[in-house]
Amino acid sequence: MANDNLKAIWRAGSMLAFFALVGVVLLVVVQWLTKDQIAENARLMKLQRLHEIVSAADYNNDLLASAQTLPLSIEGLADTAKKYTASKSGTAIADIYEVTSLQGYSGPISLVIGINADNSLRGVRVISHKETPGLGDKIETSKDDWILQFAGKSLQNPELNRWKVRKDGGDFDQFTGATITPRAVVNAVREVLSINE
């Protein structure tokens, strides 16, 4: 009797092990087949983000290879940032920062911020956010032009103490119904400009 039980357990166990093995083989094969494509997709996604700021014609270095990780200790920003440097034939064109603001209304807001060699802003774009649809999401270019206003601005234009949303006594418009989201973006851009100088 005990022997029969043992046999049944043995049988069930080895069956399960066999199917687990089949599963593992299947996963290994699929992963092996797709891994290049997935890595390539991730690379293109990254490049696409940076190309929002610097078009492919404006630089000729390997942008992704120029990435540096910067430690930050600024209130309201995540504690690491990434910095890419675009250059053409050896001359630096722009620095591009990937930072995450922690001051969003409902979660972190990831931004790319491009700064020209003369310390003026080349452009700012949102990579990801969880702001309220219809209110805070006007920071996306597909919803509103708000974020385009940063191009050309610098720490001298407007003055540093005006680098705030209007509600805080600064020069930047908030949107109706949402102050926290634009405030987070404006503050992040200002801080990045300051560290770049």
Partner 1 sequence: MSDVNYKQIIADGLWNNNAGLVQLLGLCPLLAVTNNAVNGLGLGLATLVTLLISNGSVSFSRHWVSREIRIPFYVMVIAANVTVVDLLMNAYLHNLHNVLGIFIPLIVTNCAIIARAEAFASKNEIIPSIVDGFMMGLGFLVLLVVLGGMREVIGSGTLFANASVMFGDAAQGLTMQVFDKDYPGFLLAILPPGAFLGLGLIIALKNIIDDRLETKRIAKRQQEKAAAEAASKVIGGVPASE
Instruction: Report DSSP letters for 86-116, one per residue.
Output: EEETTEEEEEEEEEEES--SSS-EEEEEEEE
Closer residue to partner 1, CB minimum distance, 41 or 55 = 41
User: In this structure, what is the dihedral angle of CA atoms 43, 120, 181, 98, given to the nearest 10 degrees?
Assistant: 20
Least separation in angstroms between CB 165 and partner 1: 22
Least separation in angstroms between CB 134 and partner 1: 5
Distance CA 18, CA 22 (A): 6
Distance CA 151, CA 140 (A): 15
Place of tokens 């399960």: 16
Residue range at the interface with partner 1 (CB under 8 A); choices 18-26, 49-57, 160-168, 178-186? 18-26
Asked if residue 56 binds partner 1 (CB under 8 A), the reply is no
How many angstroms separate the Cα of 24 from the Cα of each of 17, 139, 177, 191? Answer: 10, 44, 51, 48
Residue range at the interface with partner 1 (CB under 8 A); choices 14-22, 49-57, 96-104, 152-160? 14-22
Asked if residue 38 binds partner 1 (CB under 8 A), the reply is yes
Residue range at the interface with partner 1 (CB under 8 A); choices 37-45, 52-60, 91-99, 168-176? 37-45
Asked if residue 27 binds partner 1 (CB under 8 A), the reply is yes
How many angstroms separate the Cα of 74 from the Cα of each of 7, 19, 66, 103, 159? Answer: 64, 52, 23, 12, 20
* Contacting residue, 6, 12, 47, 56, with partner 1 by CB under 8 A: 12
3-state SS assignment for residue 165: strand
Asked if residue 133 binds partner 1 (CB under 8 A), the reply is yes
Closer residue to partner 1, CB minimum distance, 31 or 149 = 31
Distance CA 165, CA 171 (A): 6
Q: 133: cis peptide before it, omega within 30°?
A: no
Residue range at the interface with partner 1 (CB under 8 A); choices 30-38, 94-102, 111-119, 183-191? 30-38
Closer residue to partner 1, CB minimum distance, 152 or 177 = 177
Residue ranges binding partner 1 (CB under 8 A): 8, 11-13, 15-16, 19-20, 23, 26-27, 30-31, 34, 37-38, 41, 45, 132-135
